[in-house]
């Protein structure tokens, strides 16, 4: 099977979707001729023409707002926000409009859009190229929120997102674009070409939104993770020798609660990890759900490991990033609790 | 230096406040028929002045004059009159229903009926409006059933929106009426996106965006102008300047530009101002702008100069912030009376037939109201189910919402 | 002591602050001549002049963005967003700018602004006049978030917010403006003039940000609430006869975790209530914190009662609103668990 | 009808792409000295044409001509030259340092040095700039220490921003330089707010807002124009049109308006265009706009026509989207060479002294760099502490953050 980087997988998902469905339109800042600052849309304008892949003005609200109008018309726009840190100007259009259009019009108008954006830190991008705003979307009824962790999933999930009849926020952990980064920033990253999840089949396939994947079977403790933190958790498990069951959520909303509950009932312990700031992060929802649904099985409090409650700093990137040492410590503490 | 350089803060104020005498002497009203009608493919740079004038057709004598006149037949004009009268009657009844506690909220069009009623008649089937809450004339003039509107207003069991939306936030794809949002200005850029989609699809349908004077200050207004200008989207960008945004006079949103149409000049978009209380002028300008869109000439910005005669909404009392008689002093008159006078002048209408028509229309509205009320009002009779509340959040209800619905016992 | 409605108390807080400190400036949509659609700023323009209280264009991003500039200059703007549902156009300015200005400039520039906004439902306002977006602010490092539940607190907290050196989001539960609404929508509301928390001292006083208040002492179960839900919880306790300890959080961030932990360690049970949609609501953070800090004292899972995960509907307002019956059921279930 | 009405989608394209021959024949360049200089209290409606012209002072012969000339002494011009040369030298060294891995990121000013250097000299102490990442000339020309800039770029132990910010996101209240945001356009409305505050306080200090051509599409640009226009804020609204926004040519943001200055026309704001590569023209226009602000005449919009000669940032490679030699073809030349030629023409400067000055400046920059590097670079030597990361989120660290800091062991 061909191996692809995550960038290639994402590009391939759009390519496949554009080839199959004329209604799929791709645009965003620097997305057209140049192919995006991360090159995710490279070649699409040449292949499908300027009508279907083009540069947008620097206006995130305009990009998402116009996409909503296109979706109401009957197209299926898949737009890019250059960094998740720049999604806020579009937040009103996403929250007040895209998320509620079907509901408020009782299916008269719908909004099948995908808003793609690179997320997460680890590239010395400072506070405006590092954020993980997923919890700001999971609180909003009417949205779906997806965070792939590897090329195989990224392609299948993105095609599913494009085909989904409702708005999907698609967060791409940029630190994973080229390989499965595990938080050991001093080590070179294995490229996707050397990783089995870099295997990306040609042509059309989907991964259903709302289904988690177990990345490591284990019996001692359940780790709930997504995106980059899946690899950090794997490293932490390996380094502590703790037999963790690592669940890659893939879709945060709808959430695969069944998979989570089954695992925690088995292990009796749970550690939640994410890169976003701790307070009111998506980990809070996960911890709340786990204790609600597994209370009588829990042998220790659900622990959360997350970015600190500060803006993402530049120089102290690795002190901020919840790397394998911090996750490992939480695993040990949870086992000892 | 210190004194000469002392800065002062400037806050614009309306000419008068409650207690004062209404004064519109600052509003320059060009004579009907005096503004030329350029070709639709005119170079926008040559018509910048039109953003500072007012296109008018009906003069004080009730005659239709000048280059923008002559587009509508007598039948069409009579139909337009009926639409406006229907909207006014509908408003009066629904306003009263709100006062009677039959619903929570209402917003009237009093004085602004010509804008949406005349515009609708210039569109083709399939075109799409992205309206605000003050363009119900688009529905009335397109024959959308009044009963359906009332069912929505009452949030009753027959409400097409299942009780989910605030009263008057209608939606009808079939009638080219995009779901109204309570959030101002958001729909303006969506209209441009819809128009872009139509162009991308090599369709022939065009979009119309709607916004109020006050809401042009919102950022989405800018996004819309940028996208419309860059992609030459087939869209008509309508600004309804009814002088007020709740308690705030239009000078706060407009600032030093003189007019709202002027905003288009910064984007190379042809920008016209029109007498919004003149059914014929509104229709003629709408036709012009719509033709431009349809002929791939790109967007047009149109400012409708009108006056919000009623309160902002059923929650508002304008006597706190503007003189009571201000609407009487409004120099552009009442759109229904002006069209009526024109038709009388043309001898196709009489005072008597007008009174008769008023009564007939009222009867139709009352009949519709009866029917709607048979399906319930907000606090009495049939209402949408709790189950309706849980549906339509997504195409398919996801597990967490199914669990919540079960918890709610429905 | 004089009794005031919550509207009067809020107005008084601004009045007192403007009188004491020339730097306090008040503006927003319809805020000047008219005094705000809820009349919270009535009379302030007449008293302090148009330089210090004025109407703003309908541009929430402009209102907050200009306030940030004013704060950087050295003023202390206290601005109004007409409804919390309309704060999203300003979200970028709040999240990317106000919240991070001190941090990113290392105290070179600071942002002492207050953004006031009416929040919550119960007035048949439909999906755009009913929202409770507090969790969208508590996730943002650098912001403080306050939700008063009565006139006395509203005044003291608002003065504290205005005097605070950092940006404060001040959410005013509009259903409480005229009286302590307990969710029994068919009953008339007691006016504040008949309620002891309607007692609002003249002149200057503050209530520190970050301190909760116990509204009902109890031993059976701790209820964490804020805003309108404080009264709903009181009604639920009265109606079920359960001896609940009801904590009114008042400030969500910084949070009075000590008060929460002390109470839950005493009662061993906890119910969290809010009106915002459940998923990723602030209740998730509260539940996560309680189980983290009180795990070994908990005799039942922390329960959450919240708005359903749908937009706020119009006709089904009372089916949506988490009223005393739903809160009571959670109390009973938590006691029986 | 069907065919005639078929809509087509329009996406603007630059004249040439890589492989093509650079072509600026579409850019009309008025002769130096040809644009009149109106009084500062001119009625904006009478100078709309200025939004479509370009104010220029230095002609091809190196002479300063026309009504905008004559404001600066030889010493001031020599100082201006030094500032621009310093900025260019600084850029070159820091770009290299980034390539050497001493920091993560850098952004150059190549070709745009005149804009910020000349503007700064037109301001008074106390005035406040709200810059983007491409106005470091404001700091250089105000004497802000280069070492401090470098410390920030290196995120080292002496970084005034404690390592928290991306390189080049400087902040200096003392030097009238507002903390740079990575989010485009947000600072534009903040500048207007600052100016409003100054007016409210009856102060005499004014604000300057900065934005790039591409970023004018952002919504905050609109908010700024609305507020500036309504409250007549004492602010200069600067748009630096360097033709590119990363890979996107300015036509995508500009649309059909012809120029960015035109945006001001919709707000009744006097709007000028100026040759951004002409130190004298930039300074003269800045003076004019600043005087307007200071004299309570309200905002002015100024578009600086220039060209981004370098890559967008150290993460960018422009050869993928524009012809390599495009910058050579840019008709407004290089700002340093033009000012140098003018000074040589005036006989106060020579080629030889220029070469000598270049060497001296390089030495100063290298000395500063050495000093900065003694405090560390991003991955080596002294760096801000982990504790610094936890501080400054609030004036006083709240309990939850204290707990987290303890967890982090600092
Ligand atoms: C984003 C947003 N901000 C504020 C409001 C509250 N609001 C509702 S209508 C209105 C005034 C709008 O005035 P205008 O645009 O002139 O329209 P008009 O009501 O006069 O037709 C305001 C401020 C809102 N609905 N949405
Ligand atoms: C809100 C936001 N969206 C997108 C970006 C990414 N971005 C950084 S610079 C840039 C281009 C800006 O172009 P322009 O305004 O012309 O300024 P220039 O770089 O040419 O000086 C973009 C898109 C950002 N920083 N912020
Ligand atoms: Mg209005
Ligand atoms: Mg640029």
Query: Which residues of chain B make contact with C55, given a CB cutoff of 8 A?
Result: 11, 247-248, 252
- Rounded to a whole number of angstroms, the CA Rg of chain D reads 22
What's the token pair of residue B58?
């009906």
Instruction: Specify whether B307 is located in the same domain as B405.
Output: no
What's the token pair of residue D254?
């500009």
β-pair type (A213-216, A244-248): antiparallel
- State the CB neighbour count (10 A cutoff) for residue B324: 11
Average pLDDT over residues D305-329: 95
Query: B 122-161 residues with CB below 8 A of A?
Result: 128, 130, 160-161
Instruction: Specify whether D300 is located in the same domain as D397.
Output: no
Query: Which residues of chain B make contact with A104, given a CB cutoff of 8 A?
Result: 161, 164-165, 169, 171, 179, 181
Of B15-24, C286-295, D13-22, the range with the highest mean pLDDT is C286-295
Instruction: Specify whether B367 is located in the same domain as B406.
Output: no
> Which residues make Cβ contacts (< 8 Å) with residue C126, sequence separation at least 6?
B105, B164, B165, B166, B169, B182, C312, C313, C314
Average pLDDT over residues B64-71: 97
Query: Distance between CA atoms of C174 and C212, rounded to whole angstroms?
Result: 20
Query: Distance between CA atoms of A247 and C35, rounded to whole angstroms?
Result: 54
- The pLDDT value recorded for residue B26 is 84
Please check whether residue D88 lies inside any domain of the structure.
Answer: yes
Q: Is B204 on the interface with A (CB under 8 A)?
A: no
Residues B140-185 pLDDT 10s: 999 999 999 999 999 999 999 999 999 999 999 999 999 999 999 9
Residue ranges of the alpha helices (H) in A241-323? 257-267, 282-294, 317-320
- The pLDDT value recorded for residue B27 is 86
Q: Are C128 and B182 a contacting pair, CB within 8 Å? A: yes
Chains interfacing with C (3 or more CB pairs < 8 Å): A, B, D
Asked if the model's pLDDT at residue D342 lies above 60, the reply is: yes
- Dihedral sign for Cα B235, B241, B245, B251, please: positive
**DSSP notation for C73-100:** HT-EEEEE-S-GGG-GGGHHIIIIIITT
Instruction: Specify whether D330 is located in the same domain as D410.
Output: no
Mutate-to-test residue for ligand 1 from B107, B132, B214, highest number of ligand atoms within 8 A of CB: B214
Number of residues written out for chain B: 410
Instruction: Specify whether D90 is located in the same domain as D162.
Output: yes
**Which residue CA neighbors atom 7 of ligand 1 most closely?**
B184
Instruction: Specify whether D193 is located in the same domain as D78.
Output: yes
Question: Ligand 1 centroid vs B327 CA: distance in angstroms?
Answer: 20
Are the Cβ atoms of D227 and C75 closer than 8 angstroms? Answer: no
Q: How far apart, in Å, are the Cα atoms of C126 and each of B167, B180, C277, C310?
A: 9, 13, 14, 12
- Ligand located closest to B107 CA: 1
Q: Is A284 on the interface with B (CB under 8 A)?
A: no
Number of residues written out for chain A: 337
Instruction: Specify whether D153 is located in the same domain as D64.
Output: yes
Are the Cβ atoms of A129 and D218 closer than 8 angstroms? Answer: no
Please check whether residue D178 lies inside any domain of the structure.
Answer: yes
Q: How confident is the model at residue D353 (pLDDT cuts 50, 70, 90)?
A: very high
Q: Which residues pair with C169 in a beta bridge?
A: C115, C145
Please check whether residue D14 lies inside any domain of the structure.
Answer: no
Report the catalytic residues of A.
129
Average pLDDT over residues B387-407: 98
Query: Distance between CA atoms of D81 and D356, rounded to whole angstroms?
Result: 13
Q: Are C62 and D190 a contacting pair, CB within 8 Å? A: no
Looking at CA atoms only, how far is residue C268 from chain D in angstroms?
Answer: 23
- The pLDDT value recorded for residue B1 is 37
Residue B130: name the closest of B249, B64, B224, B16 by CA.
B224
Please check whether residue B256 lies inside any domain of the structure.
Answer: yes
User: Where does chain A show beta strands of DSSP type E?
Assistant: 24-28, 53-55, 76-80, 114-119, 144-146, 168-173, 213-216, 221-225, 244-248, 251-253, 270-277, 303-307
Average pLDDT over residues B261-289: 98
What's the token pair of residue D5?
């009405």
Domains, chain C, with CATH or none:
6-198 (3.40.50.970), 213-336 (3.40.50.920)
- State the CB neighbour count (10 A cutoff) for residue B364: 14
Residues D175-185 pLDDT 10s: 999 999 999 99
- The pLDDT value recorded for residue D4 is 54
**Which residue CA neighbors atom 17 of ligand 1 most closely?**
B212
- The CA-based angle A330-A334-A335, given to 5 degrees, is 120
Q: Are A302 and A331 a contacting pair, CB within 8 Å? A: no
> Which residues make Cβ contacts (< 8 Å) with residue D85, sequence separation at least 6?
D336, D357, D358, D361
Q: Which residues pair with D321 in a beta bridge?
A: none
Ligand 1, residue B183: give the atom nearest the CA.
26
Residues D244-299 pLDDT 10s: 999 999 999 999 999 999 999 999 999 999 999 999 999 999 999 999 999 999 99
CA C138 to chain centre: 12
Q: Is D223 on the interface with A (CB under 8 A)?
A: no
- The pLDDT value recorded for residue D5 is 66
Average pLDDT over residues D126-146: 98
CATH code for the domain in which residue D93 is found? 3.40.50.970
Ligand 2, residue D250: give the atom nearest the CA.
16
Average pLDDT score, chain D: 97
Instruction: Specify whether D290 is located in the same domain as D391.
Output: no
Query: Which residues of chain B make contact with D296, given a CB cutoff of 8 A?
Result: 7-8
Instruction: Specify whether B212 is located in the same domain as B98.
Output: yes
Residues B153-163 pLDDT 10s: 999 999 999 99
Give B141's Cβ-side CA count (13 Å radius): 32
Asked if the model's pLDDT at residue D38 lies above 50, the reply is: yes
Looking at CA atoms only, how far is residue D293 from chain B in angstroms?
Answer: 9
Are the Cβ atoms of A96 and C128 closer than 8 angstroms? Answer: yes
What's the token pair of residue D370?
């050495």
User: Residue C223 phi/psi, 5° resolution?
Assistant: -110, 125
- State the CB neighbour count (10 A cutoff) for residue A273: 27
Write the residue in C74, C109, C210 that is nearest to D179 by C-beta: C109
DSSP H or E run through C335: helix C324-336
- Per the structure, the complete domain to which residue D132 belongs is given by 44-313+324-379
Q: Is ligand 2 within 6 A of the CB of residue D214? A: yes
- The CA-based angle A126-A127-A133, given to 5 degrees, is 130
Residues C205-254 pLDDT 10s: 999 999 999 999 999 999 999 999 999 999 999 999 999 999 999 999 99
- The pLDDT value recorded for residue B4 is 53
- pLDDT by residue for chain A (337 residues), tens only, comes to 899 999 999 999 999 999 999 999 999 999 999 999 999 999 999 999 999 999 999 999 999 999 999 999 999 999 999 999 999 999 999 999 999 999 999 999 999 999 999 999 999 999 999 999 999 999 999 999 999 999 999 999 999 999 999 999 999 999 999 999 999 999 999 999 999 999 999 999 999 999 999 999 999 999 999 999 999 999 999 999 999 999 999 999 999 999 999 999 999 999 999 999 999 999 999 999 999 999 999 999 999 999 999 999 999 999 999 999 999 999 999 999 9
Residues B298-344 pLDDT 10s: 999 999 999 999 999 999 999 999 999 999 999 999 999 999 999 99
Instruction: Specify whether D146 is located in the same domain as D231.
Output: yes
Please check whether residue D222 lies inside any domain of the structure.
Answer: yes
Please check whether residue B10 lies inside any domain of the structure.
Answer: no
What's the token pair of residue C161?
């917010």
Instruction: Specify whether D258 is located in the same domain as D393.
Output: no
Query: Distance between CA atoms of C9 and C155, rounded to whole angstroms?
Result: 5
Question: Ligand 1 centroid vs A143 CA: distance in angstroms?
Answer: 26
Q: How confident is the model at residue D3 (pLDDT cuts 50, 70, 90)?
A: very low
Please check whether residue B25 lies inside any domain of the structure.
Answer: no
Query: Which residues of chain B make contact with D226, given a CB cutoff of 8 A?
Result: 217, 253, 255
Q: Are B382 and B155 a contacting pair, CB within 8 Å? A: no
Domain count within chain D:
2
Instruction: Specify whether B296 is located in the same domain as B390.
Output: no
Q: Which residues pair with D302 in a beta bridge?
A: D238, D272
- Rounded to a whole number of angstroms, the CA Rg of chain C reads 19
| Percent of chain D surpassing pLDDT 70 | 99
Nearest CA in chain A to C278: A139
Chains interfacing with A (3 or more CB pairs < 8 Å): B, C, D
Looking at CA atoms only, how far is residue A205 from chain D in angstroms?
Answer: 31
What's the token pair of residue D255?
């649309």
Are the Cβ atoms of C125 and B166 closer than 8 angstroms? Answer: yes
Asked if the model's pLDDT at residue B393 lies above 60, the reply is: yes
Q: Is ligand 2 within 6 A of the CB of residue A29? A: yes
Average pLDDT over residues D232-241: 98
* Mutation for testing the A interface, residue in C279, C283, C299, C336 having most A CBs under 10 Å: C279
Residue numbers of chain C with a pLDDT score lower than 50:
none
Which residues place a Cβ less than 5 A from the ion ligand 3? B 212-214, 242, 245
Query: Distance between CA atoms of A318 and C336, rounded to whole angstroms?
Result: 46
Please check whether residue B36 lies inside any domain of the structure.
Answer: no
Confirm whether the ipTM is greater than 0.85.
yes
Question: Ligand 2 centroid vs A58 CA: distance in angstroms?
Answer: 7
Are the Cβ atoms of C61 and D227 closer than 8 angstroms? Answer: no
Query: Distance between CA atoms of C253 and C262, rounded to whole angstroms?
Result: 18
> Which residues make Cβ contacts (< 8 Å) with residue A257, sequence separation at least 6?
A289, A293, B399, B400
Are the Cβ atoms of D254 and B220 closer than 8 angstroms? Answer: no
């Amino acid at each position: 099977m061909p191996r692809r980087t995550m960038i290639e997988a994402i590009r391939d998902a759009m390519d496949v979707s554009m080839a199959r469905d004329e209604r799929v339109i791709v645009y965003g800042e620097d997305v057209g001729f140049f192919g995006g600052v991360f090159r995710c849309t490279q070649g699409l304008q040449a292949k499908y023409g300027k009508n279907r892949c083009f540069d947008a003005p620097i206006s995130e609200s305009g990009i998402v707002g116009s996409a909503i109008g296109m979706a109401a018309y009957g197209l299926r726009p898949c737009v890019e926000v250059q960094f998740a840190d720049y999604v806020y100007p579009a937040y009103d259009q996403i929250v007040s409009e895209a998320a509620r259009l079907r509901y408020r019009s009782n299916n008269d108008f719908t909004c099948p859009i995908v808003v793609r954006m690179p997320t997460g830190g680890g590239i010395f991008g400072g506070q405006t190229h590092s954020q993980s705003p997923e919890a700001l979307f999971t609180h909003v009824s009417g949205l779906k929120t997806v965070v792939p962790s590897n090329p195989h999933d990224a392609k299948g999930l993105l095609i599913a997102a494009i085909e989904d009849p409702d708005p999907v926020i698609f967060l791409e952990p940029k630190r994973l674009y080229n390989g499965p980064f595990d938080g050991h920033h001093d080590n070179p990253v294995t490229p996707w070409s050397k990783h089995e999840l870099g295997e990306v089949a040609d042509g059309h396939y989907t991964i259903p939104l709302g289904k988690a994947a177990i990345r490591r079977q284990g019996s001692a403790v359940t780790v709930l993770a997504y995106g980059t933190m899946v690899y950090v958790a794997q490293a932490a498990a390996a380094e502590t020798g703790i037999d963790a069951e690592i669940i890659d959520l893939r879709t945060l909303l709808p959430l695969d609660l069944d998979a989570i509950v089954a695992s925690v009932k088995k292990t009796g312990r749970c550690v939640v990890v994410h890169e976003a700031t701790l307070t009111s992060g998506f980990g809070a929802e996960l911890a709340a759900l786990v204790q609600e649904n597994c209370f009588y099985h829990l042998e220790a409090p659900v622990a959360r490991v997350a970015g600190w409650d500060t803006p993402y700093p530049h120089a102290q990137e690795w002190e901020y990033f919840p790397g394998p040492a911090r996750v490992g410590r939480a695993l040990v503490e949870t086992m000892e609790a | 230096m210190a004194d000469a350089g002392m800065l002062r803060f400037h806050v614009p104020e309306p000419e008068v406040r409650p207690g004062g005498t209404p004064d519109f002497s600052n509003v320059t009203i060009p004579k009907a028929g005096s503004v030329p009608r350029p070709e639709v493919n005119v170079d926008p740079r040559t018509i910048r002045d039109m953003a500072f004038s007012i296109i008018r057709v009906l003069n004080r004598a009730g005659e239709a004059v000048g280059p923008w006149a002559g587009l509508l037949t007598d039948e069409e004009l009579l139909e337009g009159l009926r639409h406006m009268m229907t909207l006014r009657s509908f408003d009066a009844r629904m306003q009263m229903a709100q006062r009677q506690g039959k619903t929570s909220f209402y917003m009237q069009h009093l004085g602004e009926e010509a804008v949406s009623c005349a515009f609708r008649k210039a569109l083709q089937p399939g075109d799409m409006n992205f309206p605000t809450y003050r363009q119900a004339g688009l529905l009335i003039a397109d024959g959308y059933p009044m009963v359906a509107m009332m069912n929505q207003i009452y949030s009753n069991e027959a409400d097409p929106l299942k009780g989910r939306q605030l009263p008057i936030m209608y939606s009808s794809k079939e009638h080219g009426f995009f779901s109204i949002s309570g959030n101002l200005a958001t729909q303006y850029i969506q209209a441009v996106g819809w128009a872009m989609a139509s162009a991308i699809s090599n369709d022939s349908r065009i979009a119309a965006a709607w916004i109020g004077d006050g809401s042009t200050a919102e950022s989405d207004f800018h996004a819309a102008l940028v996208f419309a200008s860059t992609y030459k989207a087939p869209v008509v960008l309508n600004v309804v300047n009814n002088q007020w945004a709740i308690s705030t006079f239009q000078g706060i949103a407009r600032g030093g530009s003189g007019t709202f149409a002027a905003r288009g000049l910064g984007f190379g978009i042809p920008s016209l101002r029109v007498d919004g209380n003149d059914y014929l002028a509104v229709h003629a300008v709408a036709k012009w702008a719509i033709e431009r869109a349809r002929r791939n000439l790109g967007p047009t910005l149109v400012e409708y100069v009108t006056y919000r005669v009623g309160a902002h909404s059923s929650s508002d009392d304008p006597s706190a912030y503007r003189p009571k008689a201000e609407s009487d002093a409004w120099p552009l008159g009442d759109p229904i009376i002006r069209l009526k006078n024109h038709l009388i002048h043309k001898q196709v209408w009489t005072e008597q037939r007008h009174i008769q028509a008023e009564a007939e229309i009222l009867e139709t509205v009352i009949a519709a109201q009866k029917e709607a009320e048979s399906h319930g009002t907000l606090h009495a009779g049939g209402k949408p189910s709790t189950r309706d509340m849980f549906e339509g959040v997504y195409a398919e209800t996801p597990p967490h919402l199914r669990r919540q619905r079960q918890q709610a016992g429905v």
